[in-house]
Amino acid sequence: MPHTPEPNNEGLDPVPPPHLVFYVEQALLGALLLDPHRADEASGIGPDSFSTDAHAALYRAITSLPRPDAAEHAKNTRWLDRVLAAAREQARGLSPSYLHALVQVCPWPSHAPAYARMVEAEHARRRLQTAAERLVHTVHDVSLAHPVQAALTEADALSKVVDDIAHRFPPRGGVLPRATAAAPPATPNLVEAVEEERILLATATACPSEIASVRWLLPDDLVLPLHAGLWQCLTALDRRNEPVDPVTVLWEAQQRGLMEDGSNPGEVLRMLAEPAASVEHWGERALQRSLLATVEHTARRIEAYAGDRANTPFQLVVGARRALAAVSSVRVRWQHCTKAVPPLQRRPEATTRASQPTTRTARTVRSTRATR
């Protein structure tokens, strides 16, 4: 029978049973202890692929020590003793009895490659979950001087994890992950967001000529449905070259059914009559909030996928890539907002035998504006 932790009978909180991968790791280690030469067949994993420090230490010892002679290994436990001694340098709690238990629980040593693939799949799931958790933490780190850049950097790191998993487990077309409810996002500072959006709408109403400079701002970037609708009204009036003032905006809102939610027309008029600063400034603030909210939603969605052990690595890759597409979309708009356009890639010029190679000075790229 598989060796499992002893039950807790001292009145402490019960120890949860190990996950299935714990027993898979035991079977794999047992196979390698019985037949060390099968370590060459267990590719794609390393010590960090295991779920416990003890198992990681044993795998490191097994794969780092010289392989024993097969006939000699069948007669004595000398090589097992060396493995135990080496593994104890990282996991002092290991005992000879545990190694013997691993040997006994291995069903078929020849199945070591299959066990290794299972361990690799579980490690991929844990890596994805850890990267998603790190991204959520970054979004809520108030100590960061440039939160957007930090969040996008972590999103890129998460994307690289997905790409690595896809390289190891190529996704199958149409295999979507199971729909799992993601953890709700942390409550944003709605008071600040609402106030800044009110100023954005009022400033755009007072300075409609600036609306065209913030085409990268979409209604969905605003937190209140009324504010999103009013922004649609402003952009529609500007696009039609019609007069823009609090009255015309309010009339457009009525035509679109925005006032049917019980909003007070007088309060909306007063809100639209209090401009400050520039449309671009408040638009950038709104887009920054939208970007961070999108990044968090994406991270929590991927975290939920990875938290469901029924999802295979193939499904995780498909689901994660679809979720990350939302980040890519808002990232492009942020780059237009902050003028952070990626550097132009110089294309090599084709040459013929009759022509001499030439050089061309690369175009100067406009400097990026500092992120607030």
Cα–Cα distance for residue pair 29/27, rounded to 1 Å: 6
Does some domain include residue 348? no
Q: Are residues 197 and 278 in the same domain?
A: yes
Tokens 């649609």 locate to 232
pLDDT for residue 176: 78
Does some domain include residue 365? no
pLDDT for residue 170: 82
Residue type, 237: L
Q: Are residues 228 and 243 in the same domain?
A: yes
pLDDT for residue 361: 38
Q: Are residues 218 and 257 in the same domain?
A: yes
Q: Are residues 29 and 80 in the same domain?
A: yes
Cα–Cα distance for residue pair 336/187, rounded to 1 Å: 28
Q: Are residues 169 and 225 in the same domain?
A: no
Q: What angle do CA 285, 290, 295 make, to 5 degrees?
A: 130
Question: Domain span at residue 211?
Answer: 190-287
pLDDT for residue 185: 66
Q: Are residues 194 and 177 in the same domain?
A: no
**pLDDT digit string, tens, across residues 64-105:** 999 888 888 888 889 999 999 999 999 998 999 999 999 998
**Which of 230-236's residues contact partners 24+ apart within 8 Å by CB, and which partners?**
230/201, 230/258, 230/268, 230/272, 231/200, 231/201, 231/204, 232/256, 233/258, 234/201, 234/204, 234/205, 234/208, 235/211
Q: Are residues 207 and 281 in the same domain?
A: yes
Number of domains in the chain: 3
Q: Are residues 239 and 282 in the same domain?
A: yes
Does some domain include residue 15? no
Q: Are residues 178 and 194 in the same domain?
A: no
Does some domain include residue 117? no
Cα–Cα distance for residue pair 146/142, rounded to 1 Å: 10
Please give the C-alpha separations between residue 146 and each of 89, 119, 326, in angstroms, as whole numbers. Answer: 42, 38, 21
Query: For position 274, which CATH number holds?
Result: 1.10.860.10
From first to last of its 372 residues, what are the pLDDT tens digits of the chain? 455 555 444 545 566 777 889 999 999 999 999 999 998 888 889 999 999 999 999 999 999 999 888 888 888 889 999 999 999 999 998 999 999 999 998 888 899 999 999 999 999 999 999 999 999 999 999 999 999 999 999 999 999 999 999 999 987 766 778 776 666 666 567 899 999 999 999 999 999 999 999 999 999 999 999 999 999 999 999 999 999 999 999 999 999 999 888 889 999 999 999 999 899 999 999 999 999 999 999 999 999 999 999 999 999 999 999 999 999 999 999 999 998 555 444 444 443 333 343 333 333 333 333 333
Q: Are residues 232 and 177 in the same domain?
A: no
Residue type, 329: S
Q: Are residues 134 and 256 in the same domain?
A: no
pLDDT for residue 2: 52
Cα–Cα distance for residue pair 158/135, rounded to 1 Å: 8
**pLDDT digit string, tens, across residues 104-118:** 988 888 999 999 999
Does some domain include residue 3? no
Cα–Cα distance for residue pair 279/216, rounded to 1 Å: 12
Does some domain include residue 237? yes
Of 60, 76, 107, the residue that ends a domain is 107
Does some domain include residue 370? no
Q: Are residues 180 and 132 in the same domain?
A: yes
Does some domain include residue 311? yes
